[in-house]
């Protein structure tokens, strides 16, 4: 396992409030990550601190084991911001030409395929584009640049369902042939579950959870039954949330359940459901509501 990027103890304050607090994050080579969090959780700030030149108050960033100096940006990376106000007067094709000059792995054949698939007219000016089309231009650049480290901030913002599906499909197909490290920040949590291999969940600038999607499928459960029975089954496990109803309790847990746990659950008439990533997220940050 080779580490591409390590952020250690990052802190970023705006006035008295922390946009990032003691944040640690590590990205491995050739993995797709989801960066999840509510509005204001700190996702954009984190991406800007890594790649957008915002200086943290504390903490270090290492790229392939080499610490970045203050204000230094990673090499060989592509960062597609949520908002890109520059280039308004330029045509799409001109923006692609600029991007191509920055990225040594740029693939023009792929870029033209994506223009067609995303239904973008290369002669259109950036300021004539809808919100979704603008996102698609950014997504195209992120894909065709094939940078070893690609960071996307809300890439599907403003996209309709068809275009979201086309983007995810293009990403996964291209990643299968050209593996690299990709981090996608998003609100659309269940959509990212089939795309990402690992996720980081932020809340109020801190890391709430990070794990492999596969592990999340194995560990995120909702348990329902008699209160004493639920308390006994969940003892020693990571309980995210509990709620009482009549004589029963509902508990969201984040832990593996082995055969013995499941046998006990059957004996005690406890039901066990798997939680979707979206539901896990809701229980982590707000008790499921
Ligand atoms: N330039 C700024 N000045 C002051 N506060 C800021 C600034 N940029 C961000 N913040 C604050 O930092 C916190 C994190 O914001 P950030 O944009 O990183 O969140 P986010 O997770 O990307 O949110 P969203 O999903 O809504 O884009 C918020 O409380 C925000 O108000």
Whether the predicted pLDDT of 289 surpasses 60: no
The whole-angstrom separation of Cα 137 and Cα 96 is 8
Nearest residue to 271 via CA among 288, 287, 254, 248 = 248
What integer is the mean pLDDT of 12-34? 96
Whether the predicted pLDDT of 287 surpasses 80: no
Ligand 1 atom 31: residue of nearest CA: 40
- From the CB of 23, is ligand 1 less than 6 Å away? no
In the prediction, which pLDDT does 5 show? 96
What integer is the mean pLDDT of 130-149? 95
- From the CB of 44, is ligand 1 less than 6 Å away? yes
In the prediction, which pLDDT does 246 show? 87
Joined together, the tokens standing for residue 255 give: 């832990």
Rg (CA), the chain: 21
288 sits in the region (left: phi over 0; alpha: psi -120 to 50; else beta) called left
Question: What is the number of other CB atoms lying within 10 angstroms of the CB of residue 286?
Answer: 11
- 189 and 281 in contact (C-beta within 8 Å)? yes
Nearest residue to 60 via CA among 76, 75, 48, 49 = 49
The whole-angstrom separation of Cα 221 and Cα 242 is 12
Whether the predicted pLDDT of 142 surpasses 80: yes
Q: What confidence tens digit (pLDDT) does each residue in 245-280 have?
A: 888 999 999 999 999 999 999 999 999 999 999 999
CA of 153 to the centre of ligand 1 (A): 13
What integer is the mean pLDDT of 30-47? 95
Nearest residue to 145 via CA among 99, 181, 180, 112 = 99
ipTM of the complex: 0.96
Q: What confidence tens digit (pLDDT) does each residue in 203-217 have?
A: 999 999 999 999 999
- From the CB of 21, is ligand 1 less than 6 Å away? no
Q: What confidence tens digit (pLDDT) does each residue in 220-231 have?
A: 999 999 999 999
Ligand 1 atom 5: residue of nearest CA: 14
Q: What confidence tens digit (pLDDT) does each residue in 75-103 have?
A: 889 999 876 666 778 999 999 999 999 99
Whole-model pTM: value is 0.93
Whether the predicted pLDDT of 71 surpasses 90: no
pLDDT confidence bin for 73, thresholds 50/70/90: confident
In the prediction, which pLDDT does 288 show? 52
- From the CB of 186, is ligand 1 less than 6 Å away? no
Show Cβ contacts of residue 278 under 8 Å, excluding neighbours closer than 6 positions: 189, 190
CA of 42 to the centre of ligand 1 (A): 6
- 22 and 202 in contact (C-beta within 8 Å)? no
User: What end-to-end distance do the CA atoms of the chain give, in Å?
Assistant: 37
Averaged pLDDT of the chain? 93
- 4 and 37 in contact (C-beta within 8 Å)? no
Q: What residues pair up with 35 in beta bridges, in sequence order?
A: 185, 200
CA of 68 to the centre of ligand 1 (A): 23
Nearest residue to 43 via CA among 152, 135, 141, 147 = 152
Ligand 1 probe mutation, 15, 40, 53, most atoms within 8 A of CB: 40
pLDDT confidence bin for 233, thresholds 50/70/90: very high
- From the CB of 10, is ligand 1 less than 6 Å away? no
Sheet of 206-212, strand order: 77-80, 149-153, 181-186, 32-37, 198-203, 206-212
In the prediction, which pLDDT does 223 show? 96
In the prediction, which pLDDT does 151 show? 96
């Amino acid at each position: 396992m080779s580490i591409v990027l390590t952020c250690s103890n990052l802190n970023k304050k705006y006035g008295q409030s922390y946009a990032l607090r003691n944040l640690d994050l590590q990205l491995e080579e050739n993995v797709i990550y989801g960066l999840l969090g509510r509005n204001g959780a700190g996702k954009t700030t984190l991406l800007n601190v890594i790649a957008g030149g915002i200086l943290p108050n504390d903490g270090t960033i290492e790229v392939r084991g080499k610490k970045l100096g203050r204000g230094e940006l990673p090499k060989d990376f592509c960062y597609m911001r949520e908002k890109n106000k520059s280039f308004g007067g330029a045509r799409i094709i001109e923006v692609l030409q600029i991007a191509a000059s920055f990225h040594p792995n740029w693939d023009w054949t792929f870029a033209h395929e994506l223009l067609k698939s995303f239904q973008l007219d290369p002669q259109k000016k950036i300021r004539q584009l809808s919100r979704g089309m603008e996102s698609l231009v950014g997504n195209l650049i992120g894909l065709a640049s094939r940078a070893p480290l690609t960071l996307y901030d809300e890439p599907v913002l403003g996209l309709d369902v068809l275009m979201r599906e086309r983007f995810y499909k293009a990403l996964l197909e291209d990643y299968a042939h050209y593996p690299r490290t990709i981090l996608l920040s998003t609100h659309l949590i269940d959509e990212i579950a089939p795309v990402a291999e690992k996720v980081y969940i932020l809340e109020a600038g801190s890391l709430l959870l990070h794990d492999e999607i596969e592990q999340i499928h194995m560990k995120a459960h909702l348990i329902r039954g008699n209160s004493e029975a639920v308390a006994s089954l969940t003892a020693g496990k990571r309980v995210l949330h509990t709620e009482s109803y009549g004589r029963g309790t509902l508990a969201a847990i984040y832990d593996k359940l082995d055969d013995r746990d499941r046998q006990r659950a059957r004996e005690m008439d406890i039901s066990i459901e798997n939680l979707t990533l979206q539901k896990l997220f809701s229980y982590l940050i707000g008790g499921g509501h």
